[in-house]
Amino acid sequence: MPRGTTGGASGTTGGAYATSGGEFQSPALEQLVRHLQVLPGLGRKSATRIALHLLAGGEHAARLTAAIDNALRQVTRCRRCGAITEADPCAICTSEARDPGLLCVVASPVDILPFEKAGFYRGRYFVLGRLLSPLDGVRAEDLPFDRFLERLDTDQVREVILALDTSVEGETTALYLQRLLAGRELRLTRLATGIPVGGALAYTDEATLQRAFLHRQGVDRA
Ligand SMILES: [Zn+2]
């Protein structure tokens, strides 16, 4: 069989139901596989394995669809910090035990988790949602910097801690924030090295994260 007629299904959500090889005789199964294979990290092979598992019987498929349905209805984003939550504002933003003067800037809501798991951080967060990437057309106006500056005032933030990935995009965003905060009466710090270069913050172990936080460094804002 020539290459490209079978596994090359990456990204194809195909129109006509092809009769060429590599597809199931059931259009319904084929559609399920195609919906699964557009999920991050899944190719056709994994999508097929999951689809067959779901169809193999048992309660799992029904519980999964119910869980997806429930999550779609319940899960939202905190309007103040951008965290994933069911209550808006979220528990971190409203907690009296958290210091509103400390604001940790992260790229993704997932990046909050290692901090909360490690448990040493008593401030609050601000989720940017994405990082600046001029090459991919992600510019400053695409990020919630207005809301961020507003937050600095309403919470009388004393220290902004940059906890961004050490990728090119993370560095670009950190530099932008450095300039944005120039002249402001607050301390700007960033996590010390120790976070793997190009590594995703969300997958950094707790000890490394805590060390990087404790040794965070002041950032010049020229
Ligand atoms: Zn919040």
Looking at residue 177, its pLDDT comes to: 96
pLDDT tens column, 81-94 = 999 999 999 999 99
3 state SS of 66 = helix
Radius of gyration of the chain (CA): 22
Report residue 58's pLDDT band, with 50, 70 and 90 as the boundaries: confident
- As a whole number of angstroms, the distance between CA 127 and CA 82 comes to 5
* pTM for this predicted structure: 0.76
Q: What is the CA(160)–ligand 1 centre distance, in A?
A: 16
Q: What is the CA(124)–ligand 1 centre distance, in A?
A: 8
Instruction: Report the mean per-residue pLDDT for the chain.
Output: 86
Structure tokens given for 65:
């669809």
Which is more confidently placed, 114 or 220? Answer: 114
pLDDT tens column, 189-205 = 998 765 655 556 777 77
Q: What is the CA(92)–ligand 1 centre distance, in A?
A: 6
- Please provide the distance, in angstroms rounded to a whole number, between the alpha carbons at the two ends of the chain: 62
Q: What angle do CA 124, 72, 74 make, to 5 degrees?
A: 55
- As a whole number of angstroms, the distance between CA 190 and CA 195 comes to 11
Q: What is the CA(180)–ligand 1 centre distance, in A?
A: 22
Q: What is the CA(83)–ligand 1 centre distance, in A?
A: 5
- Choose among 113, 215, 109, 207: nearest CA to 161: 215
3 state SS of 159 = strand
- As a whole number of angstroms, the distance between CA 16 and CA 130 comes to 36
The domains found in the chain, sorted by start residue, are 27-74 (1.10.8.420), 79-218 (3.40.1360.10)
Q: What is the CA(57)–ligand 1 centre distance, in A?
A: 40
- As a whole number of angstroms, the distance between CA 204 and CA 206 comes to 7
Q: What is the CA(80)–ligand 1 centre distance, in A?
A: 5
Q: What is the CA(65)–ligand 1 centre distance, in A?
A: 28
